Amino acid sequence: VTKPLRIVLCGFGNVGREVYRLLCDESPRLERLGFSPVVVGIITRSRGHVYVPTGITSEHLQMLAPKDSAAVCTTRLIEQMSADVVVEMTPLDVFSAKDVMSHARAALTSGKHVVCANKGAIAWGYDELSALASAKARLFLFECCVMDGAPIFAMVRNCLPAARILKFEGVLNSTSNYVLDKMLEGVSMEEAITMAKRAGFAESDPRLDIDGWDSAAKIAALANVFMHARINPLEVVRQGITQITCEQVQAAARGAMRIRLVASAVQRQRDVLCEVKPCRVAHSSLFGSVNHTSSVLSITTDLMGNISIVEHDPGLLQTAYGVLRDIIEVASFNK
């Protein structure tokens, strides 16, 4: 007999629906890992919520519909639903993360593990939430925040013991990378942004991608976790790609170069310097090889030298897998 793991999904947009589907479709595989996922609660912003202790089926999903009445307070719902883990998948607010923080706090305080897909929580409140999680002996996991399902946090946590991270840099924003690739083909930035929106990987406000805010949130999140930097996205030295022209992209290409929006963090004597800016890189370099929506993170350590992880053309499934990975870790902790 496998142990049930009671899950609340907070946020039910594209990622939330894909996580739900994955938990349903892959439950035989998860049972072989020793647990049965049971989605007991779904909380949405504008379509109400549903709570079914025996597990939400597709019929119950019909109950989610646009509501006229004032929304019930999300943090209260999180506290009241009886569950093992809350998966936070509400939209990112790069400038404050107030909501995601209060959701995570409510979950941890009421004794639930937290799997967080919203990078705001670690870009703004990693120290507080990880301390709260240890005080409550709960897990606070956030694998898919930066590179979808590519297990960068888990790898550093589990696979690089004793090594110190000295610096890291990456191409972390799909939309900017895609837009720069399109500009090379002569497509205007505005047009390329529209294409990225249509393809579904741009932020709801794509300016947050293009201005470097998404990368700034990601590099702050990584620096907080890897280097205890206590930095927030506003403190990242940030320059987006808005000033880049098609001519510049094409001139670079004639010199066998590419322009990439590079995010980096370096450990200095007393603090961590985090930066986001467009850089010219050789087309034949690792960063130059990362096209379209792919992303890369290069990590330099003292004992292990330099290793990189590349995620190729991620889609919704990969993001949902990042969430699933964390849910599996919760289940194995919960045994």
Between residues 70 and 303, which has the closer beta carbon with respect to a copy of itself?
303
Among 257, 262, 297, 290, residue whose Cα is nearest residue 277: 262
Does residue 22 interact with a copy of itself by CB under 8 A?
A: yes
Is 212 in contact with 203 (CB distance < 8 Å)?
A: no
Is residue 26 involved in binding a copy of itself (CB under 8 A)? yes
Binding-site string for a copy of itself from residue 43 to residue 72, where x marks contact by CB under 8 A and - marks none: ------------------------------
Smallest distance from a copy of itself to CB 181, Å? 12
Smaller CB separation from a copy of itself, 16 or 233: 16
Give the integer Cα–Cα distance in Å for 297 and 215: 12
Q: How many CB atoms lie within 10 A of CB 28?
A: 8
Q: Mark the segment that binds a copy of itself (CB under 8 A) among 54-62, 191-199, 244-252, 302-310.
A: 302-310
Instruction: Pick from 82, 96, 134, 284 the residue near a copy of itself by CB under 8 A.
Output: 284
**Which residue from 36, 194, 308, 334 is in contact with a copy of itself, where contact means CB under 8 A?**
308
How far, in Å, CA of 215 to CA of 276, rounded?
A: 7
- Candidates 76-84, 113-121, 131-139, 298-306; binding stretch for a copy of itself (CB under 8 A): 298-306
Q: How far is CA 38 from CA 75, 117, 197, 231, 281, in A?
A: 21, 19, 33, 36, 47
Show contacts with a copy of itself in window 121-150 (CB under 8 A): 149-150
Task: Report, in Å, the least distance between residue 159 CB and a copy of itself.
Answer: 4
Specify whether the CB–CB gap between 278 and 262 falls below 8 A. Answer: yes
Q: Is 171 in the site for a copy of itself (CB under 8 A)?
A: no
| Pair of tokens at residue 110 | 């009421």
Q: Considering the rule CB under 8 A, would residue 37 count as an interface residue with a copy of itself?
A: no
- The nearest distance, CB 119 to a copy of itself, in angstroms, is 19
Local structure of residue 259 (DSSP, 8 states): E
Binding test (CB under 8 A) with a copy of itself, winner from 12, 124, 140, 321: 321
| Residue 310 in the binding site for a copy of itself (CB under 8 A) | yes
Q: Using CB under 8 A, which of 199, 317, 333, 334 touches a copy of itself?
A: 317
DSSP 103-143: HHHHHHHTT-EEEE--THHHHHHHHHHHHHHHHTT--EE-T
Bridge partners for 36 per DSSP: 4
- Which residue reads 């706090």 in tokens? 105
CB of 93 to a copy of itself, least distance (A): 28
CA 260 to chain CA mean position, Å: 20
Positions in the binding site for a copy of itself (CB under 8 A): 22, 26, 29-30, 33, 149-151, 154-155, 158-163, 283-286, 288-290, 298, 303-315, 317-318, 321, 324-325, 328-329
